[in-house]
A = this chain, B = another copy of it.
Amino acid sequence: MYTIGQVSEMFDLPVSTLRYYDKEGLFPGMQRTSGIRQFDEEQLEAIRVIECLKKSGLEIRDIKQFMAWCAQGSETYSQRRALFIRQRQNVEAEIQRLNQVLDMLTFKCWYYEQAMQDGNEDRLRSLAPEDMPAEIRQAYEHAHP
């Protein structure tokens, strides 16, 4: 059993954040003694899960839903699984989007490298994709579908 201050140290999370999570219902089973929060192994595991779900882009209210399902027991396995499947798709899509962004940035890096060499953008402005280095052209075309 840990106090909020100890947990704050353990996870390097501000005390205010832990209280906020509690207020938002992210620790459905947490006990108190004379008003003071008691974090036990269940809550520590909850914090680990919160950190994971947050990283995947889940919002607090969805994490709250998940915690409520966990508290409900084995009847909710399929909902929990569905949440993770949905979230995996979201993250996959996000990675794909970022890979396109990456190609755009690669192109821009090349562009300004050329501009620096030329001292101006005249040549670049009249440059067709066919005249770019293959690698850059590929990035350009992937980034501008």
Residues from chain B with a CB closer than 8 A to the CB of A109 are 81, 84-85, 88
Residues from chain B with a CB closer than 8 A to the CB of A121 are 74
Cα distance A99–B91 in the bound complex, in angstroms: 8
A77 B108 Cβ-Cβ under 8 A: no
Q: Name the segment of A11-19, A28-36, A110-118, A130-138 touching the other chain.
A: A110-118
Residues from chain B with a CB closer than 8 A to the CB of A106 are 88
Cβ distance A113 to chain B, nearest Cβ, rounded Å: 6
CB interface residues, A 22-76, toward B, < 8 Å? 52, 55-56, 74
Cβ 8 A contact of A77, one of B55, B84, B97, B112: B112
A113 B74 Cβ-Cβ under 8 A: no
Give the total of A residues in contact with B, Cβ under 8 Å. 33
Cα distance A30–B80 in the bound complex, in angstroms: 51
Residues from chain B with a CB closer than 8 A to the CB of A115 are 74, 77, 81
Cα distance A95–B100 in the bound complex, in angstroms: 11
Residues from chain B with a CB closer than 8 A to the CB of A102 are 88, 91-92, 95
A6 in the interface (beta carbon within 8 A): no
A74 B112 Cβ-Cβ under 8 A: no
Q: Chain A, 86-105, contact with B by CB distance < 8 Å: what is the 0/1 string?
A: 01100110110111011011
Q: List 10 A-B contacts (CB under 8 A).
A: A74-B119, A77-B115, A78-B112, A81-B109, A81-B112, A84-B105, A87-B105, A88-B102, A88-B105, A91-B101
